[in-house]
Every structure is written in C-alpha cells, then in structure tokens.
C-alpha cells in the first residue's frame, strides 16, 4: 500500500527536539517499509528533482536542490573545493628583496593571491605535470604564466616637514596585488589581452610595506592546479549546504505568546498577524529558510506541544562563494561536468571487469 501524502512529508523531516535530533536515518531505500518499492528510478527522479535559484552574482550563488540524496549534494561540495582546476602562483624567483618581509613569507603571501583573466584563454593552458622522482616539466607558454613584481620605495621631497603620513612621505610605501604585472610569453599575448589580461582578483590586497632604499624584484610562475593539492588552487572561498529548516505550529499561538514566539527566531522567520475583524494576534511562520534552528522556542513551557522543529532531509540550500577566477554559477556547471565524467569512467571500469 502506497504511503499517504502526509506520511511522505513526515518521513522527509529530521526532527529537532529539545535534547536530541531524531529521525536522522534515511528511509528511502528498498526494504525499509514492507510492501513499498523505493528502488531508484530515473523517471521518478526527474519528476521530483527541482532546482530553485535565490541569489546569483559573480561571486556568490545560492540555490536550492530538492529531491536529492545528501551524498550527491556532498559530492558537488567536495568537487568544488578540491577538483575544479584553477591558476595560482606556484614558483617565485626572488632577484631582490630588501623589505622587512622574509623571502619565504612573501612567496607564501603571493601564492594565496587569487588570479583572474580571459576565461577562453584559460582553456588554452595545459597541466604542467610533476613527478616526485623527476624535475618539473619544461615551462612553456601552454603550461606556465609568467608575472613580475618590481617595486622600489623612494622619498617624496615635495612633502612638508610636518607630514607624517607614509603614503604621502614616500612613493610606493605599500606594495599591493595590483603591482603584480602580467608578462605574456609566446601566444599568451593573444589569449590574454586588454580587459582579459591576467591580474589579481582584488587589486587592494596588501603584500608588504617599504621604506626608502627598500626594493622588491620578483619573477612569478603560475600553473594550473587542484584544491586537493593546495588550498591556493581552490576556486571557492567556500562551498557549503544546509538542510531547509521546518517550523510547524501544531496549535494556535496567540496574544502575548505570539510576540514572544516571534522573538525566539531570527528576524524575518515569523511574524504576528492581526485579525482585522476581531483584532486578535496570531503567530505565523513566513520564511523558515532564515532560521538557524537554535531551539530557543523549545526552552519555553508555553510553547510545549505547540511547535515542531525539524529539517527537510532532501531539501538542500547550497551556497557557492567564488574567489573570482570563475563566476560562481560557472563553477557549479564545471562541478556537474566533473561528476558526470567520474560516473562515465566508473561505468567503463564496471563493463571492463
């Protein structure tokens, strides 16, 4: 006998109680309920799977994935963090560094500067493979991007004797990411030109401070890499998801209790509605996605038995924050392609065995 709609909705909820979280085990697998077939079905998946978009700009992308298993959602998160290739600074050749920042610290700071450029140009770049027993492969314009940083600090003799601001007393007293200049090699001048030139995503990142007589002169080599090898190659500042909160009022909450109920949640989750005929006040839930599931409402005796908290186990609020090399929506599409390729490779291995 097929479960009722109410029963299906009940099974979707992970219960958040005062002292524990219950109903955490998935129930959508064959054999869990006698007489019910929960075998995975492509047509059923197409019917129930949905994506809803809530926020989209170049650096932040937020959307809901509904009707999917947590393992798949987590696969997208891990791929975004560790398996989408990006360009980052790998090697720093220090010709001269008389700043107060030590060579190795300066190189590390440079390595963590996110880069951007023409996206079509990045498609021309190839991996510069390394082997633990062999030296790095030869650098070419197809696998290595060269950049330079050459800044010297000098005194500004035009400032009055009473001036104390270093930015006015000296020229180049601070070294920023904008001072890293692209030095195209071979055909890179065709792939990355004009507005598509390779540069720092944020030009205002402070790298070092200089005083008259101090100088930094570097040559920088950038290569493609994966976040699985080093965090500097990760294309996202963060990729995360959370389950959609569920707040169900089982008995009416009215009067002063309604005001107290609303104050138990972050702003925008619930509100007090006033009946125009009777003037009575009643608490209603308007936007549960703003809730943080703090359980504050369960601490008050007047709400016992009147409200049920939970999270919907197959409704994921997914958030992607790009570091800037790719737009956040492009990153998710790349993660889909990578997961698709993994599935195809796995299928081929199964057929071979």
Q: Would you say residue 264 lies in a domain?
A: no
Whether residues 10 and 111 share a domain: the answer is no
Same domain, 209 and 135: yes
**Residue 180 — left, alpha, or beta (φ > 0 → left; ψ -120 to 50 → alpha)?**
beta
For 339-346, the CB contacts below 8 A with 24+ separation are 339/75, 339/76, 339/79
- Asked whether residue 289 is domain-assigned, the answer is no
Instruction: Let me know if residue 330 belongs to a domain.
Output: no
Do 76 and 97 fall into the same domain? no
Q: In this structure, what are the phi and psi dihedrals at residue 42, rounded to the nearest 5 degrees?
A: -65, -40
Same domain, 115 and 227: yes
Residues 66 and 165 in one domain: no
CA–CA gap between residue 145 and residue 191 (Å, rounded): 11
Query: Which among 248, 255, 302, 249 has a CA at the least distance from the CA of 275?
Result: 255
Q: Domain holding 52: CATH number?
A: 3.30.1360.10
Nearest CA to 239 out of 247, 231, 248 is that of 231
* pLDDT of 233: 96
Give the domain CATH number at 174: 2.170.120.12
Query: pTM score, two decimals?
Result: 0.87
Domain check: are 149 and 91 in the same one?
A: yes
Domain count, the chain: 2
- Name the residue range of residue 244's domain: 5-82+239-251+305-317
Residue 292 lies in a domain: no
**Assigned domain for 181 exists:** yes
Do 222 and 169 share a structural domain?
yes
**Is position 111 within any domain?**
yes
Indicate whether 50 and 168 sit together in one domain: no
User: Which of 274, 296, 272 has its CA nearest to residue 286?
Assistant: 272
- Is 161 part of any domain? yes
Does 139 lie in the same domain as 167? Answer: yes
Residue 317, phi then psi, degrees to nearest 5 = -90, 105
Same domain, 18 and 39: yes
Nearest to 334 by CA among 245, 259, 227: 227
Residue 287 lies inside a defined structural domain of this protein: no
- Looking at residue 132, its pLDDT comes to 47
Low pLDDT (below 70) residues in the chain: 1, 129-137
Same domain, 66 and 108: no
199 plus 106 within the same structural domain: yes
């Amino acid at each position: 006998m097929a479960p009722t709609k109410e029963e299906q909705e009940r099974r979707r909820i992970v219960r958040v109680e005062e002292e524990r979280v219950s109903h955490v085990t998935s129930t959508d697998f064959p054999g869990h309920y006698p007489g019910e077939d929960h075998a995975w079905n492509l047509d059923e998946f197409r019917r129930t799977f949905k994506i809803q978009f809530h926020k989209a700009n170049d650096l932040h992308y937020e959307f809901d994935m509904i009707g999917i298993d947590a393992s798949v959602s987590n696969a997208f998160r891990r791929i975004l963090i560790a398996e989408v290739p990006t360009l980052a600074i790998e090697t720093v050749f220090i010709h001269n560094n008389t700043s107060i920042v030590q060579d190795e610290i300066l190189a590390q700071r440079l390595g963590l500067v996110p880069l951007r450029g023409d996206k079509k140009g990045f498609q021309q770049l190839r991996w510069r493979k390394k082997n633990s027993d062999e030296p790095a492969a030869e650098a070419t314009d197809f696998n290595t991007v060269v950049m330079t940083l050459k800044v010297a600090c000098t005194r500004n003799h035009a400032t009055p004797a009473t001036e104390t601001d270093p930015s006015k007393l000296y020229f180049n007293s601070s070294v920023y990411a904008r001072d890293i200049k692209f030095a195209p090699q071979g055909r890179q001048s065709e792939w990355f030109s004009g507005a598509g030139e390779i540069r720092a995503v944020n030009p205002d990142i402070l790298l070092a401070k200089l005083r008259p007589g101090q100088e930094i002169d570097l040559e920088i080599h950038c290569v493609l890499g994966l976040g699985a090898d080093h965090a500097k190659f990760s294309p996202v500042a963060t990729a995360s998801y959370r389950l959609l909160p569920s707040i169900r009022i089982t008995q009416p909450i009215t009067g002063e209790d309604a005001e107290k109920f609303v104050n138990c949640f972050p702003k925008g989750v619930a509100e007090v509605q006033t009946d125009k005929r009777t003037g009575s006040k009643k608490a209603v839930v308007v936007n549960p996605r703003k809730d943080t599931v703090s359980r504050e409402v369960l601490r008050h005796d007047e709400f016992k038995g009147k409200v049920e908290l939970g999270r919907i186990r197959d409704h994921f609020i997914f958030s992607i924050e790009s570091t800037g090399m790719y737009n956040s929506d492009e990153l998710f599409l790349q993660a889909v392609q990578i997961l698709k390729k993994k599935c195809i490779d796995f299928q081929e291995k199964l057929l071979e065995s």
